[in-house]
Amino acid sequence: MAVPEVTTVRDTATIPAPATPYQGDIARYWDHEARPVNLRLGDVDGLYHHHYGIGDIDHSALGNSVGSEREKRLIAELHRLETAQADLLLDHLGPVRRDDLVVDAGCGRGGSMVMAHQRFGCDVEGVTLSAKQADFANRRARELGIERSVRAGVCNMLDTPFVSGQVAASWNNESSMYVDLQDLFAEHARILAVGGRYVTITGCWNPVYGQPSKWVSQINAHFECNIHSRREYMRAMADNRLVPQAVVDLTAATTPYWELRATSSLTTGIEEAFLNSYRDGSFQYLLIAADRV
Ligand code: SAH
């Protein structure tokens, strides 16, 4: 007699991505992404991030160094601030138990996934449109010996294979600007358990400014994304059983990171647009933590 298979969340098939021509463009973008600003920072300690940093610069860490020594110290400092950003996101995930499953929607090369597992001991599933990123994240997990708990898959985060209500916490770390927010939050609300926690850290345009500024439009063009407004986040959460518990404006906390980055050799040309839009109030860096009700 055949033994019935036990289907767990982690056994379910991955839905192939991308689903739309736009998602195909984004998959290609991240497949080809190899900017030194991302790779050299990750090389510092093996946590590979594709997001920005928060917190004050530790000027003593930079010292009076010049040339390549300054560059090395600057890279380590930028990386420290990016890891602090992910730590703040994890601080808002709430109590996560070892036997919980958490989901990183738009996981990139997996730095936040590794940190979540190291902090909570839980299982972490990440999804990305980019096969290169998923391979990279899975390779890192193997190198760390945590591949049984940390796994990345190529999957559209709007249509994931996770069983409804089985996920204790989920997040988007700088990945919500690639999707429609109603569709995104509907999927998070589906996979999250009642009482589960959703967190996003994102750039959003500020409705108080009026409309997306020219700097915001430049950022959209640079990353082929569509930055939403703060108002859209609140509305789409309210429509999808996600009730904000904390809204933290990180704009002032991320500005030193951008000022430091603009002085490095790793600039990508988008630094001025970020700094100008943060300064003129048209763009905000926001953390939103919400309860699934
Ligand atoms: N959260 C990661 C990576 C952010 S970069 C970090 O903090 O380091 C943006 C990520 O969003 C990329 O990995 C990209 O593949 C992913 N992404 C964009 N649209 C997506 C979609 N529809 N489904 C899954 N991943 C998506």
Render pLDDT for 137-159 as a digit per residue (tens, 0 to 9). Answer: 999 999 999 999 999 999 999 99
Q: Which CATH class is domain 9-28+95-251+269-292?
A: alpha beta
Confidence band (pLDDT; 50, 70, 90) for 35? confident
Mutation probe of ligand 1 site: the residue of 154, 175, 257 with most atoms within 8 A of C-beta: 175
Residue type, 51: H
- pTM to 2 decimal places: 0.94
The closest-lying atom of ligand 1 relative to the alpha carbon of residue 27 is: 15
Reading the block at residue 219, the tokens are: 């950022």
- Residues 6 or more apart whose Cβ sits within 8 Å of residue 216: 205, 227, 273, 277, 282, 283
The closest-lying atom of ligand 1 relative to the alpha carbon of residue 23 is: 22
The DSSP output letter for 95 is: -
- Is 203 within 8 Å of 219 (Cβ atoms)? yes
What is the residue whose two structure tokens read 């108080």?
208
Q: Distance between CA atoms of 123 and 101, rounded to whole angstroms?
A: 5
Burial of 5 (0-12, 13-18, 19+ CB in 10 A): exposed
Please tell me whether residue 91 adopts helix, strand or coil conformation.
helix
Query: Strand runs (DSSP E) across 106-241, as ranges?
Result: 123-128, 150-154, 167-173, 192-205
Q: What is the pLDDT of residue 1?
A: 45
Q: What is the pLDDT of residue 6?
A: 47
Exposure of 235 in the CB half-sphere (CA atoms within 13 A): 9
